[in-house]
């Protein structure tokens, strides 16, 4: 199982200047005469990457970090300026949208075309066709030209083709983001089966949920360089942390917030006051503490909540629901602390939030969020581990 499928060594890419025609002519001359490198924009520097068969690697990073370029170099669509990229095995790639469909041709023709490009002969393509059409599930559109497709349909068809080809290495670039909910689920399920069956995946995604669900390792690209490479939870955590630091820097530039009736003074997660919160293992306890200022010395209501990184709420509870009065003491700052013993969240990315509401628990005044990563190995489904026990049951029924 340790066979290497992708090996990139010292990979670098520089895009030549190609906007003005004089630049194009100059590059042409240099290329023909073999006179050294073309000057231009360096988008990737010295990337080293090895992917073994059966591994799943996510490539994350902000827009323009070079993720798509890296994938294009690996698939051979682009040629590296420095270093080498080798792939050993059959590759199925969905780069950006469309997968190279010809807009004038029908879906059916494009399937035949993609199959031929993958190296199938006509009878093999004919064999795959019904499966692809069923997976894509775009109905009568299969005989329409692709230019009439919605972007979701294009991705459906592209993914269906890849799914039928069952490549050694699957490369997808932000594919899941376009499909609708049910198709996303179908794709994720297919990818999980594919990985379980020994498939290898290179995935570019901005959805940390998908990254953590599908990948075991992650590569974080920043300005064309590898910022971090390792376990998916560690890398995605560091990446989110970097984002929040950046956002915080932007927010603080906007000056002080106007004084409000109620505002959050401090929010700590397990004693730590900056985002992201410390990484938890399944079954750890979670302690949230907030100190909220009240201008008029009225007692605020505080609501704590946990949501999955994509926004799906997991649990929320307020001081008013549990009839807890916040302690104010002498000052105008009220404190609340809550503990979830054995948090029960399954591995993945979550958000913990605190909201401060007025004394009646109706108007919302202030909110803070922290990302939270739960690490661990689990094959359970869903968001939380519900308390459960198995009951011994021997098939016979009492009369």
Partner 1 sequence: MNRFSLALHFVRRELHERYRGSFTGFGWAFLQPLLQLAIYAFVFVQIFKARIPGAGAPGYVPFLVVGLWPWIAFSDAILRSTTALQDNSALIGKVAVPREILVFAPCAAGFMLHLAGFIVILLVLALTGQGIRIQGIPFAILMYLPMFLYAYGAALCFAALQVFVRDLVQILGQLLTLMMFAAPIFYDRSNLPDRYQGWLDLNPFTGFVEAYRFLLLGHGNFGWGALGLVLAIAVISYLVGSWLFRRLDPHFEDFL
Using the minimum distance from each CB to partner 1, give the nearer residue, 19 or 254.
19
Among 62, 90, 113, 216, binds partner 1 (CB under 8 A): 113
CA torsion 207-210-216-217 (nearest 10°) is -20
x/- track of binding to partner 1 for residues 10-29 (CB under 8 A): -----xx-x--x--xx-xx-
For residues 188 and 214, is the Cβ–Cβ distance under 8 A? yes
The residue (of 94 and 351) whose beta carbon lies closer to partner 1 is 94
Instruction: Rule CB under 8 A: say whether 126 interacts with partner 1.
Output: no
Instruction: State the Cα–Cα distance between residues 93 and 71, nearest whole angstrom.
Output: 9
Q: Which one of 111, 112, 133, 269 is in contact with partner 1 (CB under 8 A)?
A: 112
The stretch near partner 1 (CB under 8 A) out of 97-105, 182-190, 235-243, 297-305 is 97-105
Task: Give the residue with the Cβ less far from partner 1, 18 or 331.
Answer: 18
Map the footprint of partner 1 across residues 62-91, applying CB under 8 A: 72, 75-79, 91
Asked if 119 is part of the footprint of partner 1 (rule: CB under 8 A), the reply reads yes
Out of 121, 285, 312, 331, the only residue in the binding site for partner 1 (CB under 8 A) is: 121
Q: What's the closest the beta carbon of residue 193 comes to partner 1, in angstroms?
A: 25
Find the binder of partner 1 among 12, 54, 98, 278 (CB under 8 A): 98
User: In the complex, what is the shortest distance from the CB of residue 144 to partner 1, in angstroms, rounded to a whole number?
Assistant: 14
For residue 200 the two structure tokens come to 């290898």
Pick between residue 9 and residue 244 the one whose CB is nearest to partner 1. Answer: 9
Shortest Cβ 157–partner 1 spacing (Å): 13
| Residue with smaller CB distance to partner 1, 136 or 374 | 136
Out of 10, 37, 39, 102, the only residue in the binding site for partner 1 (CB under 8 A) is 102
Nearer to partner 1, 114 or 306 (CB): 114
Using the contact rule CB under 8 A, the part of the chain among 30-38, 59-67, 188-196, 223-231 near partner 1 is 30-38
How many Cβ atoms from other residues are within 10 Å of residue 389's Cβ? 4
Nearer to partner 1, 80 or 343 (CB): 80
Near partner 1 by CB under 8 A, which window of 105-113, 244-252, 283-291, 365-373?
105-113
- Rounded Cα gap, residues 268 and 290, in angstroms: 6
CB of 171 to partner 1, least distance (A): 11
How near is the Cβ of 14 to partner 1 at its closest, in Å?
Answer: 9
Question: Under the criterion CB under 8 A, does residue 295 sit at the interface with partner 1?
Answer: no
Nearest to 372 by CA among 352, 399, 395, 389: 352
User: Taking the complex as a whole, how short is the minimal distance between the CB of residue 378 and partner 1, in angstroms?
Assistant: 37
Binding residues vs partner 1 (CB under 8 A) = 15-16, 18, 21, 24-25, 27-28, 31-32, 38, 72, 75-79, 91, 93, 95-96, 98-105, 109, 112-114, 116-117, 119, 121
């Amino acid at each position: 199982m340790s066979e290497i499928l992708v090996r990139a060594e010292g990979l670098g890419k520089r895009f030549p200047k190609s906007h003005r025609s004089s630049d194009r002519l100059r590059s042409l001359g240099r290329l023909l005469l073999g006179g050294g490198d073309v000057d231009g924009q360096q988008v990737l520097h010295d990337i080293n990457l090895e992917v073994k068969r059966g591994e799943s690697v996510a490539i994350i990073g902000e827009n323009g970090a070079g993720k798509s370029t890296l994938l294009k170099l690996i698939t051979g669509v682009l040629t590296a300026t420095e270093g080498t990229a080798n792939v050993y095995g059959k590759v199925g790639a969905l780069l950006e949208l469309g997968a190279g469909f010809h807009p004038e041709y029908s879906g059916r023709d494009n399937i035949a075309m993609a199959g031929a490009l993958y190296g199938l002969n006509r009878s093999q393509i004919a064999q795959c066709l019904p499966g692809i059409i069923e997976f894509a599930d775009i109905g009568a559109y299969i005989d329409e030209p692709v230019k009439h497709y919605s972007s979701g349909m294009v991705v459906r068809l592209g993914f269906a083709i890849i799914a039928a080809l069952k490549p050694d290495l699957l490369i997808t670039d932000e594919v899941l983001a376009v499909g609708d909910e049910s198709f996303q689920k179908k794709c994720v399920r297919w990818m999980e089966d594919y990985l379980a069956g020994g498939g290898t995946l290179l995935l570019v995604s901005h959805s940390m949920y998908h990254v953590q669900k599908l990948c075991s390792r992650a590569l974080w690209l920043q300005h064309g360089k590898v910022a971090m490479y390792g376990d998916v939870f560690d890398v995605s955590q560091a990446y989110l942390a970097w984002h929040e630091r950046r956002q915080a820097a932007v927010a603080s530039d906007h000056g002080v917030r106007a004084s409000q009736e109620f505002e959050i003074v401090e929010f700590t997660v397990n004693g730590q006051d900056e985002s992201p919160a410390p990484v938890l293992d399944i079954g750890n306890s979670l302690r949230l503490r907030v100190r909220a200022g009240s201008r008029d010395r009225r007692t605020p209501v505080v609501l704590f909540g946990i949501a999955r990184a994509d926004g799906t709420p997991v649990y929320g509870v307020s001081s008013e629901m549990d009839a807890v009065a916040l302690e104010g003491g002498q000052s105008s700052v009220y404190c609340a602390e809550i503990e979830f013993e054995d948090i029960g969240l399954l591995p993945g990315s979550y958000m913990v939030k605190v909201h401060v509401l007025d004394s009646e628990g109706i108007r919302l005044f202030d909110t803070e969020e922290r990302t939270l990563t739960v690490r661990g190995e689990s094959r359970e489904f869903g968001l939380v581990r519900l308390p459960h026990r198995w009951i011994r049951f021997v098939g016979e029924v009492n009369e």
